[in-house]
Structure 1
């Protein structure tokens, strides 16, 4: 009998939770995301459940508008250092912008974290879209999509070369995993090319198994083009979970979460994705698909724009229905049900080859993750789909990825510094 492939599961500690109103759920402290104890507690619970890693999303921006939900309260490298000291085995993945970080400084910072953690660090490589961040750096506006990805490729290559001692600096300190794991999120043509070139773990936003399989084929083709083996690239879609002890309880919680999302926040998020102001729109009118630009012509994140277009094409929703579908702007696939039903969904995607695992984004933190760790993980373990103990000590070992030797090729020259 063929051995069942083991799932890889991370938890995304997205401040108070993935939903726009998650900080308002009655069982959680609305200000907990501004405390270290919040993140440490979730990381320890994730380690006790034997998850592969905790995942920190981030953008190098100081958004002045905290009217409708908390923001990210700690810079990732600072928080990862604390989590490394508070845990022993779980992986530690942080998001660091290729658009606004200096490659050589970032390489040294991540290498130091990797050594300090005993080889447990991963770097989620992202380009940064939006108007707030460039203003924080004294720039008049953001570069176009293609320029962001051109720089991302060059910055990532430079960071890898610096780790190998090929960028005019001494080699990075020795880590048990060789170098940090490279994670990438982005489903545009440029994003898939970057994933094929560098990524070892890919964080996707697929809504259907068919979308996920198409994305995997595209990534595999790009990986092969760069001389890489597709089986050494793990695909981990984002998965937002709403869990109840019964199906009706889960559906009632989903309804509560929809009601708790501040409408101005949800409209602002969706308007940013669609590219126009929605403050005066009739919420019960259909979203005008014909008025929306092609993904290649849209600004901001093409990944989430494509996701929204896919929902519009499949379901022809009103604005109100689309806002509810997106959880107030969260964007990732939402699964609602009992622990067994959540496990069924995870198993279906995994056995179809659509996912090697998931980047789990609980509805509200910490309560939603407590339910996942204490109820869904044991169900996956009973089915033989998830580990009951760690068999290694590094993130690469958890993910089944090889230790990476130094590169032999010279690093490219960085693209323009806009």
Structure 2
């Protein structure tokens, strides 16, 4: 019997007004849309019509000092996902919830409730939270060390899984058609890859090249196998920022506009914050010195983002200004600019190379950038036989081709009281 054909997976990451730092300033969109619930619901409905696997919400448990330059996330994810669940029928619902600053038992009950009420459509993006702003929000003078954050993430995730199962075999949360929410993870450091291998069923990556993506996939597969898991039950979904134009020239002009709309103080502060380095005094037209940065393992912020930036510096030798424009304001995921056919070519190339099972699509500006993707790129992928035209099931696990997971039985692990 022949193996079933691989199926491309697509999520849309609803990053408030869009992935670019100045996306809220794009003329065709409402600059305050990130603070209106119907903005998110409308995009979710369009994603469902396009038969995408899921919507994806980012979040951080702290108020960052960037509101002078761009909108933040307007809603806590579980509140917004509950509203979207009531307004949709089939689209998956992935939310980001910090393992660093949430109580495991409370989080388990909250996520299980949304999963049950949505008919088994929830996914939990397990993140460790870096940054001084979040630490201060929880009364900590400094952020916990990288290794400590990931050790806690492993423990919290294990406890959440056990609470979903029910202590001593007694269910404490509602049953779900998919068994339990899908576990998603983002992070490509050594600690992040280990966490992915231990628990993740979908991994949100930031790979910039096919070779880099294939190497990360091998590392995750090895970790999954080391934990006694089947690597084929882990879906790899790199982030992909898209800028779509009816012609290549139109797309490149839109990309130029988006770069011009990013406030430079915002982009510089965001980059410095993600690297854990004060960049306030740099000359923007000076070449970025590779040797001036510590090795990633010593970085205070996100090691995944840190490695991504170092890769761009080593490949392109940019000035600080060029680096900021390449990153689109600090987001750091790969940006593809072109016609619907060119963007479909890129997606197909990565998919057929095995570098990705699909993508977490991050449109340039919302909602217009997603309209371009859903109305032009998705039909092109469907014409090529790469993407579904109808849903084959009702749950997020159905969409991602993942097996129903019966929650593990037994007592939840006891978390350290010293965190």
Question: Shorter-chain TM-score: what band?
Answer: over 0.9
* Structure 1 residue 180, shift from structure 2 partner: 0.3
Q: Indicate whether 1:87 and 2:88 are aligned.
A: yes
CA deviation vs aligned residue, 1:173-218 (integer Å, no higher than 9, x gap): 1110000000000000000000000000000000000110000000
**Is the Cα–Cα contact under 8 Å of residues 161 and 167 in structure 1 kept in the other structure?**
no
Q: Could you tell me which residue of structure 1 aligns to residue 182 of structure 2?
A: 181
172-181 vs 3-12, greater mean Cα deviation: 3-12
Give, in whole Å, the separation in 1 of the partners of 2:410 and 2:157: 14
Alpha-carbon separation, structure 2, partners of 1:293 and 1:358: 31
CA displacement at 1:281 relative to structure 2: 1.3
- Note if contact 2:126-2:184 (Cα within 8 Å) is conserved in structure 1: yes
Is the 1:177–1:403 Cα contact (8 Å) retained in structure 2?
Answer: yes
For structure 2, list consecutive stretches of 5 or more residues without a partner in the other structure: none
Give matches, 1:296-375, under 5 Å: 296-375=297-376
2:17–2:34 contact (8 Å) kept in structure 1: yes
The 5 Å alignment of 1:20-169 reads 20-166=21-167
Deviations 1:332-355 (CA, angstroms, capped at 9, x unpaired): 000000000000000000000000
**1:388 is matched with which residue?**
389
3 and 318 in structure 1: CA distance in 2 versus 1, 3 angstrom threshold = same
Moved more, 358-367 or 276-285: 276-285
Kept after mapping to 1: 8 A contact 2:53/2:92: yes
> Which 10-residue stretch deviates more, 407-416 or 283-292?
407-416
Matches within 5 A, 1:190-269: 190-269=191-270
Partners of 2:176 and 2:329 in 1: how far apart? Answer: 41
Cα distance, 1:64 vs. partner?
Answer: 4.6
**SS at 1:11 equivalent:** strand
TM-score by structure 1 length?
0.98
The alpha-carbon distance between structure 1 residues 299 and 87, as it changes in their structure 2 partners (threshold 3 A), is: same
SS at match of 1:30: coil
Q: Structure 1: how far apart are the matches of 2:299 and 2:279?
A: 16
Helix, strand or coil for the counterpart of 1:141? coil
Q: Tell me by how many angstroms 1:291 deviates.
A: 1.2
The superposition leaves residues 229-263 of structure 1 with CA deviations (integer Å, 9 ceiling, x where unpaired) of: 00000000000000000000000000000000000
- Check whether the contact 2:267–2:329 (CA below 8 A) recurs between aligned residues: yes
Paired with 1:134 and 1:93, the residues of 2 have a C-alpha distance of 24
Residue 281 (structure 1) aligned with residue 282 (structure 2)? yes
For residues 132-157 of structure 1, what are the alpha-carbon distances to aligned partners after superposition, in whole Å with 9 as ceiling and x for unaligned?
A: 01111112111100000000000000
Report how far residue 3 of structure 1 moved: 5.8
* TM-score, scaled relative to structure 2: 0.98
In 2, are the aligned partners of 1:195 and 1:223 still within 8 Å (CA)? yes
Matches of 1:2 and 1:341, distance apart in 2: 29
Unaligned runs of 5+ in 1: none
Structure 1 pair 281/167, CA: closer, same or farther in 2 (3 Å)?
farther
Q: Distance in 1 between the 2:274 and 2:73 partners?
A: 20
Residue 271 of structure 2 corresponds to: 270
Q: CA deviation at 1:417?
A: 4.1
Question: Displacement, 1:410?
Answer: 4.4
Which stretch of structure 1 is more off in the superposition, 217-226 or 2-11? Answer: 2-11
Q: Check conservation: 1:151, 1:416, Cα contact below 8 A.
A: no
| Per-residue deviation, 1:286 | 1.1
In 1, the alpha carbon distance for the partners of 2:256 and 2:57 equals 27
Identify the residue that residue 9 of structure 2 maps to in structure 1.
8
Q: Runs in 1 of length 4+ with deviation above 6 angstroms?
A: none
Work out the CA distance in 2 between the residues paired with 1:33 and 1:144: 32
* CA gap 1:81/1:212 in 2 versus in 1, 3 angstroms: same
> C-alpha displacement at 1:314, in angstroms?
1.3
Native 8 Å contact 1:193 1:219 kept in 2: yes
8 Å contact 1:150–1:415 — kept in the other structure? no
